[in-house]
Amino acid sequence: MIFGNVNHMDEFSFLDHSVKECYAYYRNHDLGAYERGSHEIDGERLFVNVVEYMTTAAENRFWEAHKKYLDVHVMLRGEEQIDVNFIWNMHLKEYVAEEDFLPMQGEKNGSVILRPGDFLICYPADGHRTAVAAGEPQTVKKAIFKVRI
């Protein structure tokens, strides 16, 4: 996983071209004005899901990872904790190929707090639990770019 802020992209020149496309799209579009839902950028190769939800306690959330897509979470509004752990440290459940969803159970190894402009890139080995309240529950709006591997 890679954690950073979109205002410091010069520090991430090593990122793959397709991941850099996410940040170009972010800079050139007002994602905060987008309706919730999936928005095509380049077919199934690259798209963005805009989500808005209330954060909650960790025990109310679930763990996931993906095999076909990288997740590039970019916080648009609000503050959210994302708990992380490597999938080999977790109890893996049955992979749902149609949804590219690998559910799992386990404990966090660490966590990051996303604030507006912060991003977290999750690779296939990066289990993540999103929508955890960082303090008091609050409504957040986030763009999750899906980059086909």
Query: Could you give all domains of the chain from N- to C-terminal order, each with its CATH number?
Result: 2-148 (2.60.120.370)
What H or E segment, with its residue span, contains residue 17? helix 17-28
The answer to whether 93 and 103 are in contact (CB under 8 A) is yes
Contact partners, residue 26, CB within 8 Å, separation at least 6: 6, 74, 143
Average pLDDT over every residue of 57-80: 97
Q: Is the pLDDT of residue 12 over 80?
A: no
Local structure of residue 101 (DSSP, 8 states):
B
Confidence of residue 145 (pLDDT cuts 50, 70, 90): very high
In tens, the pLDDT along 80-130 reads 999 999 999 999 999 999 999 999 999 999 999 999 999 999 999 999 999
Provide the mean pLDDT of the chain: 95
Terminal CA-to-CA distance of the chain, rounded, Å? 15
CA 91-93-95 angle, to 5 degrees, is 135
User: Above 80 in pLDDT, residue 35?
Assistant: yes
- The predicted structure's pLDDT at residue 13: 80
Residue 105: partners with Cβ closer than 8 Å, 6 or more residues away: 63, 90, 91, 93
pLDDT surpasses 80 at 8: no
CA separation for the pair 118, 113 (Å, rounded):
8
Looking at residue 7, its pLDDT comes to 74
